[in-house]
Amino acid sequence: MKVEDVKILVNNKRAAHEYFIEKVYEAGIELKGTEVKSIRNSRANLSDAYANVKGGEVFVYNMHISPYEMGNRYNVDPLRIRRLLLHKREIRYIRQSLEQKGYTLIPLNLHLVKSYVKMDIALARGKKLYDKRESLKKKDATRDIERNFKNRY
């Protein structure tokens, strides 16, 4: 798959700030027709979303997809639980990792691969407050360095 073939539609900006990302998986997502149209218009929100394994399948919770304006009766509940499509061995590994202390499964982004909507989900550990402060300091330092370098040349 080429990088040019992927178009990111919705990003979860809080994920990198709130969690240490360990491993990333690309999963298909089971959607209704009007949901796909809303996602193509970038009308989805991943900030409060999380995923979990239930009954050998992975589901994403609290992902808000706004109703499609011209969808009328075909629109579904914006916060409904949606199934993610992964291989069984990946689900088994994720379930075992989630049983360990401190791991969670969070969505990173929604993107198009050819004409299919896919979701990147990450196995992650939560950051403590001091870790968040440290990453903000690093981000500010790199921004200052880039700004000074840009002003010189």
* pLDDT tens readout for residues 58-117: 999 999 988 888 877 777 787 889 999 999 999 999 999 888 877 899 999 999 988 889
User: What is the count of structural domains for the chain?
Assistant: 1
Q: Does residue 145 belong to any structural domain of this protein?
A: no
What mean pLDDT comes out for the span 2-22?
81
Q: Say what the pLDDT of residue 148 is.
A: 86
Kindly indicate the confidence band of residue 153, based on its pLDDT and cuts at 50, 70 and 90: low
pTM over 0.85: no
Task: Give CA–CA dist 101/35, Å, rounded.
Answer: 34
What mean pLDDT comes out for the span 121-146?
85
Burial annotation 119-133 (CB, 10 A radius, 16+ → b, else e): bbbbbbeebeeeeee
Does residue 112 sit in helix, strand or coil? strand
Q: Does residue 139 belong to any structural domain of this protein?
A: no
Q: Does residue 143 belong to any structural domain of this protein?
A: no
Q: Does residue 73 belong to any structural domain of this protein?
A: yes
Q: Say what the pLDDT of residue 28 is.
A: 93
Q: Say what the pLDDT of residue 2 is.
A: 60
Enumerate the H helices of 1-153 as residue ranges.
13-18, 33-40, 88-99, 129-152
Q: Say what the pLDDT of residue 5 is.
A: 73
Q: Does residue 140 belong to any structural domain of this protein?
A: no
Q: What percent of the chain has pLDDT over 90?
A: 31
Q: Residue 55: which domain range?
A: 3-126
Here the CATH number for the domain that contains residue 13 is 2.40.280.10
Q: Does residue 135 belong to any structural domain of this protein?
A: no
Q: For 32-65, what is each residue's pLDDT tens digit?
A: 888 888 888 888 889 889 999 999 999 999 999 8
pLDDT at 126 over 90: no
Q: Does residue 29 belong to any structural domain of this protein?
A: yes
Q: Does residue 146 belong to any structural domain of this protein?
A: no
